[in-house]
Amino acid sequence: MKNIFVFQTKIGIVAIEDNGTEITDVNVISENHSIEVNETSLLKNAALQLNEYLEGKRNSFDLPLNPNGTEFQKKVWAALCDIPYGETRSYKQIAEYIGNPKACRAVGMANNKNPIMIFIPCHRVVGSDGSLTGYAGGLDMKEKLLSLEKGKAI
């Protein structure tokens, strides 16, 4: 059974879902989105940690995560979690890190399918030239998250 907690943040209305023991999804949703809410202590803790992060008071998360995806996607998402706060990596660097240097595009697709945004920091992946590339929350949000990690308030 999935539980969901919806709350307002600095980046919009966020919905966090769990399966009873692990976080499975994080999404920014529209205001008129109708969702049946079932809060758990895990979801409330995740919301607290997310808000602390967005306030610049937290630079890592202590949450059980269980993203649904292929083995390759999970390998990429695990690599994203190894990118230190305030740093970025290119798609090529992630491909090399997971031992598949020619998989830049596949890394990009896995990044795009990340179901647990922010907690799995796909916003820290940029183009080889340092340019901001696609982000599920939009490039504006990606820029805000990266700026936050550089010490600027959002």
122 is catalytic: yes
Q: What angle do CA 75, 60, 140 make, to 5 degrees?
A: 80
110 alpha-carbon distance from chain centroid: 12
Catalytic residue, chosen from 76, 95, 122, 125, is 122
Report which secondary-structure segment, H or E, holds 149.
helix 139-149
Tokens of residue 11, six digits: 């980046």
Spatial CA neighbour of 147 closest among 9, 8, 78, 54: 54
Q: Point out the residues that are catalytic.
A: 122
